Amino acid sequence: MEDGTRLSAGEQGVSEQSDRVGAYSPRCVDFVTWAAVGPWARTWVRATPGPDHHRVQRLKPLVQYLAWRAAGGRQVADPSAVFRADEIDQFISAGCGHLAGGTRATYRSALRTIGECVVGVEVACPDRTVELAKPAPLAPYSEPEFAALLGAIGGRPTEFQRHNAMVLVAFGRGAGLTASDIANLTGTDVHSTRDGATVVEVTGDRRRRVPMLERWETLAAQMAADAGDGPVFNPARPRATRNDIARFCDRLGWRDAPRLAVTRLRAGWIVEHLAAGTPLHVLADAAGVTAPNLARYAEFLTSLSPVDATTLLRLSAR
């Protein structure tokens, strides 16, 4: 670790005051990987400016990046390879697609800041103005996958798991709600209209009104009635947090069915509406996004034959 030693020595005493960096131990990386990448991570993050708590904040994405590199057989000890801008961007794109856009931007900024201090601006961030590309949307479940998913949910050993998994299915596939939407959903947010529709009034940052797909109405209405004015998902929670649903899905742990993911359930709801011809502006309002965001899901629509496409394009304006 000669390069790392020179960097540390160049900081003259930084390591002695970096107790929080030295005490840091990641929760998301196994012991063997941490033993391999930890010394490099600590050395490089100590080369960055600011108080220790800022270094620890940079250390978290750095450790995840180095663990991702190690898992892929990439170099983890050569800073000139680790902190190349294209290598960092590949991690953000391929290794962080599950994270929100703001978190991905924070991760890239932290890694580039470390790289600036370790190998220089020319290598780590030749162009800080390049915007992060949005990750491709996750594909909706195919019919066989969805059948396997429902079977796996029905086979869960506890009513708690079965019920809460079906809450995610009903409101994710039936109304296109996000995990955050469902985490904050209460029974009183769901009501029936005079014409018999079941409607979800989504609260929070993306307030909107979403009619349920008809085949999910009965189940959703019953779940809401059971919850009353409490949360529909896991009403025993003392408070709702953004990670409640992700942790719940991680603990289900079956092998013969795809992982339960609200993003894929929501994708199925969007694609079904697109295939049915729901106008983009109507669907965008219900989904809580802009119409251009919905265009990304067009790749999941079934292709039409040339004859059918011609007929549709000729007659759709009638």
Q: What is the pLDDT of residues 30-88, one digit of tens each?
A: 888 989 998 999 999 988 887 888 888 899 999 999 999 988 888 888 888 898 888 88
Highest mean pLDDT among 27-31, 154-158, 205-209: 154-158
Residue type for position 272: E
Mean pLDDT to the nearest integer, 181-198: 93
The CATH class for the domain spanning 143-307 reads mainly alpha
pLDDT of residue 29: 82
Domain positions in the chain are 2-124, 143-307
In whole angstroms, give the CA distance from residue 260 to residue 254: 10
Span 119-124, mean pLDDT? 72
Structure tokens at 194: 């005079």
Is the pLDDT reported for residue 17 higher than 50? Answer: no
CA torsion, ordered 207, 263, 131, 90, to nearest 10 deg = 160
- Token readout for 125 is 């961030």
| Per-residue pLDDT at 204 | 80
pLDDT for the residue 169: 97
> How many Å apart are CA 100 and CA 104, to the nearest integer?
6
The yes-or-no verdict on residue 194 having pLDDT over 70 is yes
Q: Cβ distance 56 to 33 under 8 Å?
A: no
With 0.85 as the threshold, say if the pTM is over it. no
Q: Is pLDDT above 90 for 223?
A: yes
Mean pLDDT of 119-123: 73
- What pLDDT sits at residue 242? 64
In the chain, % of residues over pLDDT 70: 88
Judged against a pLDDT cut of 60, whether residue 160 lies above it is answered with yes
Q: Chain-wide mean pLDDT for the chain?
A: 85
φ, ψ (nearest 5 deg) of residue 190: -115, 130
